[in-house]
Amino acid sequence: MSVTSITMAVKPSGVPATRKKSVTILGSTGTIGQNTLKMIDAGADNFQILALTAGNNVALLTEQAKRYRPKLAVIADASLYNELKENLSGLGIEVAAGEHAVTEAAAIPTDIVMSAIVGAAGLKPTLSAIRTGTTVALANKECLVCAGELVMKEVARHNATLIPVDSEHSAIFQLLDKVDMESVEDVTITASGGPFRTWTTEQMRDVTPQQAIKHPNWNMGAKISVDSATLMNKGIELIEAFHLFPFTAEQLKVLIHPQSIIHCLVTIIDGSVLAQLSTPDMGAPIAHALAWPARMLTPVKRLDLAALGQLEFAAPDTGRFPALRLAREALVAGGCAPTVLNAANEIAVHRFLKGDIGFLDIVRVIEQTLASVTNTPFSTLEDVLACDQQARRTAEIQ
């Protein structure tokens, strides 16, 4: 039995080959959103944009809306409504603003929703899309970290399709669809190690935000780049994988791989190891999600192993990078611990980028917040949001 039929209620898209797929992009001005539009450009005959949403980058949203002519353009920052409306006046594009409008846009019937809003802010819109029973390409890992059990129950309840977009989870998705789940021994996701992979703890005390956001391989936003530098990104991805796929925490492993060529390794009980490889370009997993269950031609640079020459691997050092340990502990603890972890990390990274705290203080803030907020189970979205807010208030004062 394939992983798709077990865990993600995956079903055929039902979109005839003669009709374009309609696409809503939540977070179109972010890195993933912009890359999604590039892949749609590559397959322009197969896709049409239904709706675009953005946080506060009204200039770029305007540019995108004028080019792709969606039916709807939404800016989450309500104060920018008039500016967006004026910018798009006379084009026949409906304009809306506010967080509620983003959630409503996610619920408009469409063939596929790209969920690319960074952070817990993407939870409500993603759930809104899932509840329509459509295909959701999930690039927002925080949804599953802070409310994984709730999200996956909604996927099953509404017979939705969830396609992971993170390169590692896309790789797992692609590999597990080809094997008998009972034959899988463990799954390893890889991490580049970030820009400070070889630095000592003492050297990392003086890291600046400018240094932390310069990822060696990937072009990502500031928050995700800092998460990669602390290895929290990989810890969050472990929690995401736990909810997406039917594995125990012990079966999920992390391996440092500086070149970011191998994205996942699946070990089989007979000793075989399956790997998914591609250049470090988010275009490939985005295209896979957009075209699924088919494949599409993309401009992604082809992998040249001969030119690369060699691949390096190492075990993660949780002494120098304790964020990975904290994430695994939160995963094992369950309850609201992952929600607290995610909220505290978002606040700590924001404080670091503003210059309020040092690089090493990010993990300190998270650890102290986890110790301060009581770990309780939750069953509703309101429970999740209440825990999230409590953790954020606590992390602000640590």
Candidates 188, 235, 164; CA nearest to 4 is: 164
3-state secondary structure of 84: helix
Tokens 């602000």 found at = 396
Provide the pLDDT for residue 222.
Answer: 86
Provide the pLDDT for residue 218.
Answer: 62
Tokens 């409306």 found at = 85
Where does residue 203 rank: exposed (0-12), middle (13-18), buried (19+ CB within 10 A)? exposed
Q: How far is CA 251 from the centre of its chain?
A: 21
Q: How far is the C-alpha of 145 from the C-alpha of 389, rounded, in Å?
A: 15
Q: What CATH architecture applies to the domain 3-165? A: 3-Layer(aba) Sandwich (3.40)
Give me the helix-helix angle, 323-333 and 361-372, nearest 10°: 20
Instruction: Enter the DSSP assignment of 118.
Output: -
Where does residue 221 rank: exposed (0-12), middle (13-18), buried (19+ CB within 10 A)? middle
Q: How far is the C-alpha of 171 from the C-alpha of 265, rounded, in Å?
A: 9
What's the alpha-carbon Rg for the chain, to the nearest Å?
20
* Per-residue pLDDT of the chain in tens (398 residues, 90 and over written 9): 233 333 333 333 444 455 899 999 999 999 999 999 999 999 989 999 999 999 999 999 999 999 999 999 999 999 999 999 999 999 999 999 999 999 999 999 999 999 999 888 899 999 999 999 999 999 998 899 999 999 999 999 999 999 999 999 999 999 998 898 999 999 999 999 999 999 999 999 999 999 998 877 666 778 889 999 999 999 999 999 999 999 999 999 999 999 999 999 999 999 999 999 999 999 999 999 999 999 999 999 999 999 999 999 999 999 999 999 999 999 999 999 999 999 999 999 999 999 999 999 999 999 999 999 999 998 899 999 999 999 999 999 99
Please give the model's pTM, rounded to 2 decimal places: 0.89
Q: How far is the C-alpha of 268 from the C-alpha of 281, rounded, in Å?
A: 27
Alpha-carbon distances of 333 from 42, 52, 129, 328, 385, rounded to whole Å: 44, 37, 29, 9, 19
Candidates 154, 375, 99; CA nearest to 387 is: 375
Give me the helix-helix angle, 31-42 and 283-291, nearest 10°: 60
Contact yes or no for 143/123 (Cβ under 8 A): yes
Contact yes or no for 51/105 (Cβ under 8 A): yes
Two structure tokens written together for 58: 């009204």
Where does residue 238 rank: exposed (0-12), middle (13-18), buried (19+ CB within 10 A)? buried
Q: How far is the C-alpha of 255 from the C-alpha of 232, rounded, in Å?
A: 14
Beta bridge partners, 53, equal 26, 74
Q: Domain extents for the chain? A: 3-165, 170-281+303-392
Class of domain 170-281+303-392: mainly alpha
Q: How far is the C-alpha of 124 from the C-alpha of 99, rounded, in Å?
A: 9
Provide the pLDDT for residue 224.
Answer: 86
Beta bridge partners, 163, equal 137
